Structures are given as structure tokens and as C-alpha cells.
Amino acid sequence: MDTLTESEKIKKRMEEKQKKLDAIKLSIKQEKAKFNKAKRKERTKRLIEKGAIIEKFQGENAENISPEETLEQFKEIEFIKRRLKRVTMRGRSLEEVFKLEWEQEQAKQDVPEGFVSADESR
């Protein structure tokens, strides 16, 4: 003989469903945490690999170069890349550009002391 009333039966079913729902929520939370942990691990690995590559290109003195100096180096490289792109887009080859810059540098060295060029007078 069933001693539970109809309302008690309904309450018991609701409690069981709530326990299942809570278990599902916990499972979702755990899966989300596992996913985020895996993403952090991947990012950490990527950052370490990139850092190793940067240090390789910075040479033996890499440990003495600060992150700020590294950023400045990258800015300089980006500036040079944009400059070379503009120059080569004007139809000049890199050989022509380097030759022209070398000739300009040589001309600066041949200028007598006290002489101010048009570039320097601006």
C-alpha cells in the first residue's frame, strides 16, 4: 500500500529531477573548466615556442634584452618592411635601393666639415 500522497509523489519527482539537473550543470561546468585548461596549455606552449624563436634570432645576448626592447625591435623591423614595400612598389629593385642608399651614405662621408646639406638644413 502506497502511503505517499499525490503531492508528496510530485515533490519527490521534482527533487529527483533537480538532482539530475544539478549533476548535468556540474558536468557542464567541469567540461568547460577542462576545455579552458586545455586552451591555456596550448597558449602557454605557443608563447614558449615563439619566445624561443625570438631569443634564437636575438642571439647570445637575448637574456639581457627586455620585452620593451624586443617590442621596439619588432617596430623597427615593421617600419623597414613597410619602407621596402613602398620602394619596391615604385618600380625599384632592392639592389637599386641599396645601391642608392650606399651612394648617399658615401656622399655624406665626402662632404667637407661645416657644410650643411639641403636635407640637414630643414
Tens of pLDDT, residues 64-103? 999 999 999 999 999 888 887 777 767 777 777 778 788 8
**pLDDT interval class at 116 (50, 70, 90):** low
CA 114 to CA 120: how far, in whole Å?
12
CA 19 to CA 95: how far, in whole Å?
75
Residue 56: partners with Cβ closer than 8 Å, 6 or more residues away: 62
Torsion of CA 16, 17, 18, 20, to 10 degrees: 90
Torsion of CA 90, 93, 95, 100, to 10 degrees: -20
pLDDT tens digits, 7-55 = 999 999 999 999 999 999 999 999 999 999 999 999 999 999 999 999 9
The answer to whether the CB of 110 falls within 8 A of the CB of 117 is no
